[in-house]
Amino acid sequence: MDVALVGQFWAIAALLACTPGADWAYAIAAGIRARSVVPALSGIVVGYIGLVGVVAVGLGVLVTSYPIVLTVLTVAGAAYLLFLGISTLASAPRAVGASDGPLGDGVSGQFLRGAGVSGINPKGMLLLVALLPQFVSPAGWPSPVQMLVLGGLHVGNCVVVYGAVALLARRVLAARPRVSLVVTRVSGVVMTLIGVGLLAEQVLALR
């Protein structure tokens, strides 16, 4: 694998993990309302592991056989990132809050709900679909294997970021709402910049 590509993917994936979404809301809810954050966070992580497996195995063959698929997926993912980023920046400032949905009945319920939050999250799916193939090296390991490794880095980012979000939710976000407003704005900027960067790369590749 290309070490430079791996490093670039890790940095982008880390920035995206730091952008608020449904998984953030559930992690905050677990941090504030659950006795332990482990069941909910474990569910979120398992959901992303499932997504990575589906994307790597399914798209690996397509990208290898039809390179145009990579271009289409990258443009679609970049457009979606631009939409999310611009919408976040254009909307009225609002604090990042906890999900008002039930956490689940007991440990197993919290785990299953966490897996559902990340496993059927359209944002997570589209971002993985757009990003994983983008950082696959033409030489070396088979594409699915490279995407599984990259996906593993993304899952690692999720463990660190969502764990921190859950553990700091009560102390930081509840006591300092201005911090969550800043996080929301920064996430909008990050998504917009990454979307522009992906689109620019595709435009330059056509020249």
pLDDT of res. 160: 93
Continuous segment of H or E residues that includes residue 90: helix 67-90
Residue 137 has pLDDT above 60, yes or no: yes
pLDDT of res. 166: 86
Tell me the two tokens of residue 77: 């993912």
pLDDT of res. 45: 92
The number of CA neighbours under 13 Å toward the Cβ of 28 is: 21
Q: Taking a C-beta distance cutoff of 8 angstroms, is the pair 168, 31 a contact?
A: yes
Residue 116 has pLDDT above 70, yes or no: yes
Residue 99 has pLDDT above 60, yes or no: no
Tell me how crowded residue 32 is: count the other CB atoms within 10 A of its CB.
17
Average pLDDT over residues 141-148: 86
pLDDT of res. 62: 75
Look at the chain and count its residues. 207
Residue 56 to residue 198: CA distance in whole angstroms: 20
Residue, of 57 and 74, whose pLDDT is higher: 57
Exposure letters 89-100 (e unless 16+ CB within 10 A, then b) = eeeeeebbbbbe
Domain residue ranges in the chain: 3-205
Average pLDDT over residues 121-141: 76
pLDDT digits (tens, 9 = 90+) for 29-67: 787 777 788 888 999 999 999 988 888 887 766 766 777
Residue-averaged pLDDT of the chain? 79
Q: Is the dihedral of CA 101, 105, 110, 115 positive or negative?
A: negative
Q: What is the pTM of this model?
A: 0.73
Tell me how crowded residue 178 is: count the other CB atoms within 10 A of its CB.
9
Nearest Cα neighbor of 172 from 117, 97, 118, 102 is: 97
Residue 98 has pLDDT above 70, yes or no: no
